[in-house]
Amino acid sequence: MRDTEHKHEQNAAELRLIPFFQPKIDMRDGGLAGAEALVRGVDKDGNIIMPAQFISEMEKDGSIGKLDFFMLENVLKQLSEWKAKGLPQIKMSVNMSRITLFAPKTLDTVLEIRSRYPDIPVKLVEFEITETAGDVGKSALAHIVDSFRERGFSFELDDFGAGYANISLFSNIKFKAIKLDRSLVDDLPDNAISSMFVENITKICRNFGMECIAEGVETRQQAESLLQAGCVYGQGFYYSKPISALEFEARYLNGPGISVKPDMV
Ligand code: C2E
Ligand code: CA
Ligand code: CA
């Protein structure tokens, strides 16, 4: 056991980390609504290593904070590069682990990183946090989220519906968007309960002034069923897998017939 753990640690430390980007799509017309940055590891032979193989190790050894800040910095750098090239500015979300979220110096570090990219409006950066972040107590979470919001950052509630689908979370906490977990989308369009759940969550989102984004959209039927339920934003392999910055730029920012949603920017 010790040997295995040691080996994993070595592997995580030996990886070069890079951000990949997955588009968030306006499913009504296929336009680009934003993107999510997802980390990838590259080993010494150039193989791409998925986060499932090193994230939990980083959470255990405490290096997850460094990863989240590294991703934030890279996202800002990328947006800045695209801006310098005259490409459209898009909203980009960064995953923030609950460990990072609740660490006392996180806001200061985030502000310090952000100050190095004054050309990028802060409203373009969003943090995705998971429903389990609410386990520590809604008021503690609300307090942290508010302290970031005062500085212009916004939050998305990730993986909603994967756990208890804790609706009271969004009556207490101001989220910019709710991300419907892949497990709900997987059941569409055949499962009537899932369809109804999606429809109702979408309605709540609309009433609370939040956006609703479906994760893990893999088929046209799922996209259609989500649209029918009123959920207009989607992310998933049906549209695109997470891709490198170069590929993202070519396909979504620089390609022929690109469409970036002005209302989401
Ligand atoms: P997540 O934040 O829920 O990200 C969505 C995951 O679903 C990504 O996996 C993405 O590639 C995958 N996905 C997207 N569309 C589809 C689809 O249509 N079908 C299927 N089957 N999967 C889809 P990925 O990139 O392997 O990331 C896994 C998890 O690792 C993320 O889940 C997130 O919790 C974590 N993660 C990734 N990057 C970071 C990071 O920079 N910081 C932190 N703290 N966590 C990260
Ligand atoms: Ca996420
Ligand atoms: Ca998710």
Model pLDDT, residue 166: 76
Which one of the ligands is nearest to 51 CA? 1
Query: Which ligand 1 atom minimizes the distance to the CA of 159?
Result: 3
With beta carbons less than 8 A apart as the criterion, state whether 179 and 144 touch: no
Answer whether 68 contacts ligand 1 (Cβ < 6 A).
Answer: yes
The string of pLDDT tens digits covering residues 107-133 is 999 999 999 999 999 999 999 998 776
Q: What is the pLDDT of residue 168?
A: 77
CA distance 180 to 171: 17
pLDDT above 50 (res 1): no
Q: Sign of the C-alpha dihedral, residues 114, 72, 177, 256?
A: positive
Q: What angle do CA 223, 169, 151 make, to 5 degrees?
A: 95
- Inter-residue long-range contacts of 144-151, CB under 8 Å, 24+ positions, other chains counted: 144/101, 144/102, 144/107, 145/173, 145/174, 145/175, 146/174, 147/107, 148/107, 148/110, 149/174, 151/107, 151/111, 151/122
Banded pLDDT at 136 (limits 50, 70, 90)? low
Exposure of 249 in the CB half-sphere (CA atoms within 13 A) = 12
Which atom of ligand 1 is found nearest the CA of 71?
A: 41
Q: 38 alpha carbon to ligand 1 midpoint, in Å?
A: 6
Looking at the CA of 67, which ligand is closest?
Answer: 1
Pocket test for ligand 1, best of 20, 38, 56, 129 (most atoms within 8 A of CB): 38
Residue 161, ligand 1, Cβ within 6 A: no
Q: What's the pLDDT tens digit per position in 209-245?
A: 999 999 999 999 999 999 999 999 999 999 999 999 9
Among 181, 178, 155, CA closest to 167 = 178
DSSP, collapsed to helix, strand or coil, labels residue 80 as helix
Nearest CA to ligand 1 atom 44: 97
pLDDT value at position 134? 61
pTM: 0.93
